[in-house]
A and B are shown apart, each in its own frame.
Chain A
């Protein structure tokens, strides 16, 4: 399972030459716990009984393997084959259940009884609360106070699942501050508590461990693509905030030189404005939350508040393995704006009857650009595999506001129907898409 793309024993990606990414920039008080976790994770991944139990829980409880679905109407529209990895159909509605079940199973193996987690929009918090309920553990979730107000429904879900939700008022009261607060809790509780980190970022071993727990996405998708279509995809695509779903997809394809790897970052209101979260595109090398990676920071190294319409991508850092893959040119990271993502959300809803998470809509929007180009180069057999990392139910509040949905006058006056440019529909360029 080891690859040249893996981190070294200290958690550095790219250690063999050039810029090193990752590592562990953490208070000494947490080093013993991180060492213990590293050893437990390595030991568990080498233990067939752990791996088998993890697999069984994923299948029986989380509903994996998720389907690889050929989006035919969308494919005809762009002139290339679009395959969707349906992580949105997993239990709790996103890929994140894979990560938390893996980490919670490891927590039980380590004999710890309490878990803590940070959450932005609440998806990782809900997933953590779910895993804690499943394993019978105490769970405390740190969530920015701004986000607890924006995402009251997810707060209620966590409460129903038995978790304690702590609103974080410090700093900018969003995801990065929730991580700070969870780390502060962990410093004081580390003897009996595990920190279920929500993405493939943070200090070693989290970037590698979270990747291991999420890599089933790509392992399944690669096998499904070969089995269903007899070929590997020409390109794979995923959205990148911290980057857990992306690294989960990409890992299986890193050694397939013919497969182009595309990560799509939250471009917010545009990377030429201050309101975005395109960390690799616009950030600079630095240290945030324990890892050397790209960071949105000012000239004094103070973290800059990020913005994305998608709370799950709204993070001013990025997983260090993505920084490495970008630096060595194995993967390409490109921004997708709020507007492009919302357009893709509406497009998939109408063409395929699938309402994606706004995070996943970023991947889709970027993938459509790639697919149109590949389709022109290679014809309709060109294949782009997109990770549909989550479902959009949680985003309906944002969608209502953005599209002006739910107004009965609007629905009767402008029924949401044909998709512009759909060759199965009424014809090209009606422009209705602009009014979504």
Chain B
């Protein structure tokens, strides 16, 4: 299953899609599944399941803390696939976001096969660009998986064209030059980047990095096909570490606010 169905539905409704991220195994595997299902029920159109990694160079302190907690809790690659299976069963397209080494270690083809059989839609690869991704591209094509690569404000037009040509599912536009994490105001780099990306592809272009509430989501939804939110969800769970019921309730509230935002944009 590709994420394409989710974007087609959002487009038919005349709105942007809400893409929600949470790392598997944070704070533990079962609760992360419960939390992600809550995000699905409250309005996420696409789910990114994060694979916790020991050296997350693109992540800010919030997601680093969650990944570290997941790893200290013993989360394995197989737990990530189990999480994907549980989330995909809801019918919501589910992709994995992962740094490259865990996939290479698992075996690129084996990972693609197991991800596909878990019902996963594809992979977002923050530290793998298409020019280094021959092995992954071949495996993804064999197993009919989405390949979601990133474009950045610093990307040249030629690299954007090369990247979008290699993508399937959607294109991930990093709106700021910096690591993940909620930011008070959206970046003025996002709009021009989306425009430059759109010039090269018909794929949906989603914007990530920094969105934390409905008004920001509405701002981004005005010019993007999807709004990606990660750190704000993680932060919500971190803030309610002692009371899981309250955490889920806050997560539902945040998701609803963001889902409302993408409908206002």
Contact = CB atoms under 8 A, between A and B. Distances in A.
Contacts of A171: 54-55, 64, 68
B177 A190 contact: yes
Nearest to A36: B154
Nearest to A184: B179
- Residue of B76, B132, B149 with highest tally of chain A CB at under 10 A: B132
B145 interface: no
Interface in A10-32: 10, 23-32
B126 interface: yes
Nearest to A286: B101
B24 to A, nearest CB: 12
Contacts, number: 114
Contact of B152 (A28, A183, A300, A301): A28
B100 interface: yes
A180 B55 contact: yes
Interface in B71-110: 71, 76-77, 100-106
A399 to B, nearest CB: 32
Contact of B127 (A25, A170, A176, A286): A25
A125 B77 CA distance: 36
Contacts of B132: 23-25
A27 B149 CA distance: 10
B101 A297 contact: yes
Interface stretch (B34-42, B155-163, B212-220): B155-163
Interface residues of A, number: 36
Contacts of B56: 180
Interface residues of B, number: 41
Contacts of B131: 10
B59 to A, nearest CB: 8
B106 to A, nearest CB: 7
B60 interface: yes
Nearest to B76: A300
Nearest to B68: A171
B21 interface: no
B151 interface: yes
A28 B151 contact: yes
Contacts of A176: 55
21 contacts: A10-B131, A24-B129, A24-B132, A25-B132, A26-B129, A27-B57, A27-B127, A28-B154, A28-B155, A28-B159, A28-B163, A29-B152, A183-B57, A184-B60, A187-B179, A286-B104, A295-B101, A299-B105, A300-B77, A303-B55, A303-B101
7 closest A-B pairs by CB:
A301-B105, A29-B152, A188-B178, A301-B102, A32-B154, A301-B101, A303-B54
Interface of A: 10, 23-33, 170-171, 176-177, 180, 183-184, 187-188, 190-191, 284, 286-290, 295, 297, 299-303
Interface of B: 53-58, 60-61, 64, 68, 71, 76-77, 100-106, 126-129, 131-132, 149-156, 159, 163, 174, 176-179
Given A25-B100, A26-B127, 20 more contacts: A27-B174, A28-B174, A29-B58, A29-B177, A31-B152, A170-B61, A171-B68, A183-B57, A184-B178, A187-B57, A188-B176, A286-B101, A286-B104, A287-B104, A287-B127, A299-B105, A301-B53, A301-B101, A301-B104, A303-B54
